[in-house]
Amino acid sequence: MSTDDSRRRLRVAIREMEIDDLSDVYHLGSRLFTSGELPTLYRTWDEYEVTTFFNTDTEYCLVADVDGEVAGFVLGTTYEKDGSAWKYGYVAWIGVKPEHRGQKLGHRLYQELERRMAEDGVRIMLMDTEAGNKAAISFFSRMGFGRPEPQVWMSKTLRREASPANGAVRRHASPARSMRLALRKPAEASSAASNGHATDRALHQTVKTV
């Protein structure tokens, strides 16, 4: 890279995700949510997360575009509960390429998501992540989140019987979607947890009132 190139200011834009970004966002997530570092996020990240949010919550799917390249993204959704005046915003996924960290891209992505959600009537923002994801917990603390509540995320490995049917792939609601359901139905979720057998890991949920 020449000196002129390195001095050139990068053009950064926080914009809505477009159909051509789907593959970049999916592959960036696969690079960030790895089995070694973030095993629960690794298990729940898949291409259906990207396409489902894009279909259902387009205005809450944002990318950080740096010189035409996707350097980060955030995917969110909102909830309303019967009988409650509160509207909730949920930050389902946020990620920034390691080489672009510390440049406020995460901050700008989150702020734009929060601005849009607040404009749509959201009063409480929620996020969750693995208890060991210190970077994300520090980041969300800086974004004004607090009151972390540990939540247990459990798993059980089922033995597969050898049969030709095992070759067929069937799609089910992803674990991440189940996790969001748990956010909406805390009583049912905790009773299900107390019936389980294997503790997987504690998640932190944190809340921000806007």
What does each C-alpha distance from 105 to 27, 96, 102, 139, 198 come to in angstroms? 18, 7, 7, 11, 37
In 120-158, alpha helices (H): 134-142
96 near ligand COA, judged by CB under 6 A: yes
Size of the site for ligand COA (CB under 6 A): 20
Amino acid at 205: Q
Stretch that binds ligand COA, among 78-86, 96-104, 152-160, 194-202 (CB under 6 A): 96-104
CB of 82 to ligand COA, least distance (A): 28
Query: Is the CB of 41 or the CB of 61 nearer to ligand COA?
Result: 41
* 156, 196 contact by CB (below 8 A): yes
Interaction residues for ligand COA, span 140-159 (CB under 6 A): 142
Q: Which residues pair with 130 in a beta bridge?
A: 203
Q: How far apart are CA 93 and CA 134, in angstroms?
A: 15
CB of 71 to ligand COA, least distance (A): 9
201 near ligand COA, judged by CB under 6 A: no
138 near ligand COA, judged by CB under 6 A: yes
